[in-house]
Amino acid sequence: MSKVAFITGATSGFGRAAARKFASQGWSVVITGRREERLQALSDELAERSPVHYQVLDVRNNEEVVQMVQSLPETFKNITCLVNNAGLALAPQPSQTVDINDWHTMIDTNITGLVNVTHALLPTLIETGSGASIINVGSIAGQWPYPGSHVYGASKAFVKQFSYNLRCDLQGTGVRVTDLAPGIAETEFTLVRTKGDQAASDALYEGTRALAAEDIAETMFYLATLPPHINVNRMEVMPTDQAWSPFAIHREN
Ligand code: NDP
Ligand code: 8X3
């Protein structure tokens, strides 16, 4: 029987590219997200190559998550790789000007959603044991501060520490955990962050070579298929065109 990857946020960006990558390598894939028509289209595309199961899922809703995991079809129940990818940034403005609801949405999705799915899938991952992996999509924003990152970066710092802490508890089970932390990547991420400002999204990616969703999908597949005794704790991946800036100094006048 083929290995099964369970991917959250598979309707776009990294998640969709990951579904394509795993399916192309003969894995069965469980694809989830909130936009059903996109799941249906991806499912139709992938079904030609590999077994696929799709389910509309809002990761923020723990009841929905538990129910979905419990009702997985028999051939998709034994998960080898969880790609905890669903997430978003909102409100790239200074903290003092943001709508509190945007902060709550990021916490509910990037933190609560990620722990909901992890908790529901831990039993099957532990049952799989050696070779199983959890790939938590963090961000460079979880490591490096920048203006307008506020709760987004903090939520990704949570992903990093949660990943490390999970490793401690899972020692001896064979289940690996990685905090995969990408830098700038061209997906729908900035469109979501700016609430639909296509010009702002285009401007961000213009004239530089950002990571593509497929680059991160390759990395995910690499992590999931390393020999079972290897655990990459954290992998930070930036495009060559991205680096750090000097500290900002405020001056009077
Ligand atoms: P996209 O906006 O292209 O994809 C985000 C995915 O998350 C979509 O499939 C969306 O599906 C899903 N999602 C959002 N909210 C929910 C929810 N409540 N329940 C279920 N699914 C949800 O962005 P990316 O592919 O770039 O982002 C994927 C991950 O990568 C995120 O965690 C992001 O923080 C992280 N990241 C992105 C970087 C970048 O520069 N692009 C860099 C570093 C990290 P739907 O709307 O259908 O529910
Ligand atoms: C997304 C990458 O640099 O916009 O996590 O924070 S960045």
Q: How many CB atoms lie within 10 A of CB 239?
A: 17
Tens-place pLDDT, residues 227-246:
999 999 999 999 999 999 99
> Which pTM was predicted?
0.98
Mean pLDDT of 182-199: 98
Tens-place pLDDT, residues 121-173:
999 999 999 999 999 999 999 999 999 999 999 999 999 999 999 999 999 99
Catalytic annotation, residues: 152
Q: Which of 136, 137, 189, 238 to mutate to test the pocket of ligand 2 (most atoms within 8 A of CB)?
A: 189
Tens-place pLDDT, residues 78-90:
999 999 999 999 9
Q: Provide the 8-state DSSP code for 128.
A: H
Q: Which helix (H) or strand (E) holds 4?
A: strand 4-7
Structure tokens that stand for 8 in this block? 């959250």
Q: Which of 60, 73, 163 is nearest to 107 (CA)?
A: 60
Ramachandran angles phi, psi of 178, nearest 5°: -130, 135
How far apart (Å, rounded) are the C-alpha atoms in residues 163 and 225? 18
Ligand 2 atom with the smallest distance to the CA of 156 is: 5
Cα R_g (the chain), whole angstroms: 18
Q: Residues lining ligand 2, CB < 6 A?
A: 139-141, 183-184
